[in-house]
Each structure stands twice: as C-alpha cells, then as structure tokens.
Structure 1
Amino acid sequence: MTRLSVFNSPLLLGFDHFERVIDRVSKNQAEGYPPYNIEQIGETALRITLAVAGFAESDLTVSVEDNQLVIRGRRQNDDGERIYLHRGIASRQFQRAFVLAEGIEITAATLENGLLHIDLERPVPEPKVRHIPIGAKNASAGASGPQTIDVAPREGR
C-alpha cells in the first residue's frame, strides 16, 4: 500500500523537508519512556523536563543533530552487586528525540531531583525586506533598464 503525500502538489515546491520532519515526529510519538513535560517559561522560552530518576549526570547526553534535540541515557550496569526481590524501577537505556524548528537555541541543561531540564530559546525573527530587480529579457523591447519591486512583510504579522 502506497502512502499519499500532502506535499505532492506542484504548488508546494520545496516542502519535502517538512514531510520528513512529520515522519520523524510520528515515529517518536510511539516511545513512552522516559515521560516528559514541555512548558512555556517565558514569552520566547520553553523548557523540556524529562523524568530520569536513577540516572546520574554522567549517564546522560544531550545533543543537537540535524535540527533534532536528542537525549540519551545509559546507566552503568550494577546488577552484579545487587539481588532484587522485585525490580519495578526502570533503569533501561533510552533515547528521546524532539524535532526543533529553525532558529531554536538550547540555552541550558540541568539535572535536579531526578528531573532533567532543558531550556530552549525561540528568538523572534526580525522582518526582512528584499528588493528583487526586474530586468528586461529583450533590450529592444523599449525597456528603460532594470526596475525593482519592493517585497515587504504584511502588517499585523
């Protein structure tokens, strides 16, 4: 069975990157460990908090790979030292990934009381105005030279 893509329209040129991002996000939703929260802590600031009880700072890595925030946890194996009658606390290795929008910056990562906090900053982009020159294809058509069109952001954005 082939999957139909919303991005196959000839009006959506160059949006294949978004399709790959959506595929990555849908694959990551199936993971349930470790649990996490995403909260807004300021006008342009976000915080991702993962519950990583039992993991030390040296057991965790936080990296950005191709606009994807990747958190990995791997505990040192201490099973030889202990005999468990019941083992209900998860200590398995994990990898949790979050797709980041363009321009998102990681500002800090802290481990506190079994919670890994990762702070992100979403800078507000300045509106840009580009002038596109218009040149005549045929010089004998009576054109007086290149003209420009002002492309400005719409009001209210």
Structure 2
Amino acid sequence: MRTNLDFSPLFRSSIGFDRMLNALETASRIDTIDNWPPYDIVKTGEDDYHIAMAVAGFSQNELTMTQEQNMLVVSGQKANAEEVQYLHRGIAGRSFQRRFDLADHVKVVTASLVNGLLTIDLKREIPEEMKPRQIEIKTDQALPEVETKQIDAKQQAA
C-alpha cells in the first residue's frame, strides 16, 4: 500500500534538488496502471540505452516522439479508419502516450520502426567541462632568498 508523502519541507530547505524532489513526488503518487504498449529498457553500454516498444498496428506517421529537457514522450494516434465491422478485435488500436524520465545529458540518438517494434537508442553525453579532469600538482620550489634589514630602535627614536 502506498501513501502520499509530503515533500514540501524539503523544498523549503534545499537548493538545486528540485528535479530529484519532483521525481520522488511523482513516483509517490498513485496513478492508474496503464501498461500499454509494452516496452523494454536495456542498458547496452556504459552510457548507452535502448528502448523497444511494441506498437503493432501503428504506422510511422501515426507515431510522434518528442524530447523536452529530461522527458521523452512517445505517443500514438490512429488515423480515423473507415467503418469496419469487427467479428473479433485483438490488436489494440487505442491512442497512447508513454513518458520516460531521462537523466541529465541523455539524448535520443536514433529511432526506427520495423515490424511493429519501435526502437529508440539513447546515449548519455557528458560535456567536456563536466567530465572529471586531472589537476597537476606542482612541486614546492625554493623561494628566492630576500635580504631582510634589521631596524635599529635607536635610529627610529631620533
């Protein structure tokens, strides 16, 4: 059994964690379970991912895919078909919208539709300025000797 958690105290005392707190809040909400269309998410490498989604009955022009910041939205809308009398309808043709939360710097590389399977390849590309870098540690060089002068207290008083 899930309970709704209140994250508002964390919003008041944290800075820069908005995305993480929003994800926790979204995950804690009780949503209706909609598991159509079925899909797989596979990690294919260190920074490579693959989504396979079964969209049988949908053509390429009936599917749309958009990426907005850290959200990938895949939706399908069947074109208005002619009136047909079905004796049995087992292939779902209902509209759908599937959302995938993406981590920072994850981009869609390719997407293809083959034999009713929509495949989406993703890659995390961390910018050079955000990658770890080696910092050179210099050795302590001998400081040049500076000649120090002694101030004579008697001369200063005069």
Q: TM-score, normalised by structure 2?
A: 0.69
How far apart, CA to CA, are the structure 2 residues paired with 1:69 and 1:60? 13
Specify the structure having the higher radius of gyration (Cα): 2
Which segment is superposed worse, 120-129 or 68-77? 120-129
How big is the shift at 1:7?
6.4
One of 109, 120, 132 as aligned partner of 1:127: 132
Same amino acid, percent of matched pairs: 38
Tell me, yes or no, if structure 1 residue 20 matches structure 2 residue 35. no
Match of 1:59 among 59, 62, 68: 62
Counterpart position of 1:141: none
State the superposition RMSD in angstroms: 2.9
Count of aligned residue pairs for this structure pair? 129
Alignment partner of 1:35 is 2:38: yes
User: SS at the partner of 1:22?
Assistant: helix
In the TM superposition, structure 1's runs of 4+ consecutive aligned residues that sit over 4 Å from their partners are 25-29
* Conserved? CA contact 2:4–2:28, under 8 Å: no
Q: How does 1:64-143 map to 2 (within 5 A)?
A: 64-80=67-83, 82-124=84-126, 126-127=131-132
Specify whether residues 26 and 48 from structure 1 end up closer, same or farther in structure 2 by C-alpha distance, changes over 3 A only. Answer: farther
Cα gap change, 1:24/1:70 in structure 2, threshold over 3 Å: closer, same or farther? farther
More strand by share: 1
Unaligned runs of 5+ in 1: 131-157
* Cα deviation, residue 128, structure 1: 5.4
Q: Deviations over 1:108-139 (max 9, x none)?
A: 00001111000000135511589xxxxxxxxx
CA shift, 1:79, in A, is 4.5
